[in-house]
Amino acid sequence: MAATDFGKMVNRIESARLAQNSQTKLLKEIRGNVLNFKELFSIYRIRMFLLVVSLALFAFTDSEFFRRNFDFQRLLYQYETQGPSPSYQNKLGIEVEGYYTEKGATDGTFSLTPYKDLIDLSRSTLGNDGYRTVRVEDLSKTELKSGAVGLFYKSAHDLNAAEKRLLFISDVSIFHPKGTKPVEVVSPILETKKDVDSFFSVLKAATEERGFSAEPLNSGTHMHFDFNKPQREEILILTVVIEKLLPEIKTAFSVQESRSNVFADAYTATDFESLVGFTKSVFPLRKTSLLNVQRHRATNWLSLEKHGTFEFRLFNSTTDPKLLTIQADLIGRIVKAVRLRDPKLLSLLKSDNLSGLTLDSVSSALDCLYKDPRVRTYARESSAHDVQRSKQIEHKLVPQETFLPLRGLTYNGFLNSASDHEIIRHYSSPYPTINYSLDLPVLQGNRCVDVYK
């Protein structure tokens, strides 16, 4: 082989080696860049996760929009100078979601399925409280949810008394044990002590005799408070107060221990910005269907158009009358203070960056039942008990099936092989025994919601 040919071959081999080295180096660099990108992307994901978590821990009052782009002091001045609302009324509505054990029909069909047994039980319970049944109606074709049955009743002694309506609704998305039926029990408008006592009597009878049980892992208690003829400033101030207290309320009533409640989310900064824009628009304040905020918020203003109420949706589902009383008293007093411009609430609203607006300070200032340490203990332990009871049977819960028509349905045995009494014993359990000697009439049956003085 000629020297020149040998030299060319050596050069080609060296060029190939250099090219391979360059390729190897390039591949290493690419691999390194990929690894760096993965690391940076992982860091980015972690940072985004932490950001989402941090946003979940704070109310929208900590947002950039509220602190920099919203003139809260001006709102507060306008709100304060308006004076108390002349349209304020003490009216309350309670909706409790849960499930119960349906009693088998004796004639093979229910004329008003699936609640004939609950209606019969409620009629007898209300009868013992001095009420007479006026009528029972299928309301599924009205403006109400599908699967609604209404029990209308009035005082048996006062001929001029107003008619009241108790509702049972099947159109609710509730996980429940097999052999039980989901139901939402909706109170009539509660205006007096007797109204509240009678509704609690119905809940008690349904719990004791039909195993009506709350399901706090998947459902809630919704409370409506009269908000007739609102002013723009009242809507915004109440939203600020409620949402500022929301993280503390979640902890106090074990909401954080139970469900990631997509049906009672906190307001976001975008939600509040939309609410502000709506209250400044040309639309009537009652036309909240035009509000670009979904109703599945702990603070729900869409009920203002339909019912004339402010709806609070956060609380876990419960059938405990004492806990319901504590909850209704807390939110009810806040609503009352906002509408009547309570000087004590105004003082808290004027604190730097709302730092003085806490659950403890509000409870104390507004003389809520929750201000008492013993009430706080009861609220926490009763709520936690509901949650733990549900967690023990969580693996046995099934989703709501297609909603059944009210009329013409043949009863085919929803209970399968288990008897209704066995299911009642298995799934209903008493509330915890607490050393609770609180001498408050509201919790001893002599008086219900304290706002009804």
Per-residue pLDDT of 192-202, as tens digits, reads 889 999 999 99
Give me the mean pLDDT over the 331-343 stretch. Answer: 96
Q: Which of 194-208, 234-248, 255-269 has the lowest mean pLDDT?
A: 255-269
| DSSP letter for each residue of 291-350 | SSS-S-BSEE-THHHHHSEEEE--SBP---HHHHHHHHHHHHHHHHHHHHT-HHHHHHHT
CA distance 62 to 73: 15
Around 448, how many Cα atoms within 13 Å sit in the side-chain half-sphere?
20
Residue (of 172, 113, 194) closest to 447 by Cα position: 194
Average pLDDT, the chain: 76
- pLDDT score of 50: 39
d(CA 261, CA 245): 17
Angle between helices 373-392 and 232-252 (to 10 degrees): 70
Q: Beta partners for 225? A: 92, 310
Cα→Cα distances 351→172, 320, 346, Å: 41, 36, 9
The span from the CA of 64 to the CA of 62, in Å, is: 7
Helix (H) or strand (E) holding 420: helix 420-427
Tokens of 147: 């699967």
| Residue 420 CB coordination number (10 Å) | 19
Average pLDDT over residues 8-15: 60
Q: Which of 156, 99, 111 is nearest to 138 (CA)?
A: 111
- What's the token pair of residue 246? 């929301």
Cα dihedral value 43, 48, 50, 56, nearest 10: -170
pLDDT of 372 strictly over 90: yes
* DSSP β-bridge partners for residue 186: 95, 167
Distance CA 137, CA 150 (A): 5
What is the rounded distance in angstroms from the CA atom of residue 101 to the CA atom of residue 210?
Answer: 5
Q: Are the C-beta atoms of residues 100 and 213 closer than 8 Å to each other?
A: yes
Query: With bands split at pLDDT 50, 70 and 90, how would you rate the model's confidence at 27?
Result: low
Overall residue count recorded for the chain in this entry: 453
139 or 166, which is more confident: 166
Would you say residue 287 has pLDDT above 60? yes
In contact, 166 and 116? CB cutoff 8 Å: no
Pairwise pLDDT comparison (246 vs 441), residue with the higher score: 246
Residue 337 pLDDT level (bands cut at 50, 70, 90): very high
More confident residue, 360 or 436: 360
Q: Which of 78-92, 140-154, 211-225, 417-431 shows the lowest per-residue confidence on average (mean pLDDT)?
A: 417-431
C-alpha dihedral, 348 to 354 to 355 to 361, nearest 10°: 30
Rounded distance between C-alpha atoms, residue 166 and residue 144, angstroms: 13
Beta bridge partners of 97: 184
Query: What's the distance, Cα to Cα, between the start and end of the chain in Å?
Result: 117
- 180-191 residue pLDDT tens: 888 899 999 999
CA distance 369 to 81: 29
pLDDT tier at 257, thresholds 50, 70, 90: low
Q: Which comes out higher in pLDDT, residue 109 or 414? A: 109
How would you classify the pairing of strands 409-410 and 109-110? antiparallel
256, burial (CB in 10 Å: exposed 0-12, middle 13-18, buried 19+): middle
Bridge partners, residue 334, by sequence:
none
Q: Torsion over CA of 168, 260, 423 and 207, rounded to 10 degrees?
A: -50
| pLDDT on residue 417 | 31
Q: 34-93, pLDDT tens digit by residue?
A: 445 444 444 444 444 434 434 344 566 777 777 777 888 999 999 999 999 999 999 999
Amino acid letter, 10: V
- Grouping H, G, I as helix, E, B as strand and the rest as coil, residue 178 is coil
pLDDT band of 166, cuts 50, 70, 90: very high
pLDDT at 64: 72
Q: What is the DSSP letter of 96?
A: E
Question: What is the pLDDT, as a whole number, of residue 123?
Answer: 93
Q: Which two tokens stand for residue 427?
A: 């799934």
Q: What integer pLDDT is reported at residue 310 of this predicted model?
A: 94
Confidence at 16, pLDDT banded by 50, 70, 90: low
Question: Is there a contact between 386 and 97 (Cβ–Cβ < 8 Å)?
Answer: no
Report pLDDT for 4: 61
Per-residue pLDDT tens for 391-429? Answer: 887 767 776 554 333 333 222 222 233 333 333 333 333
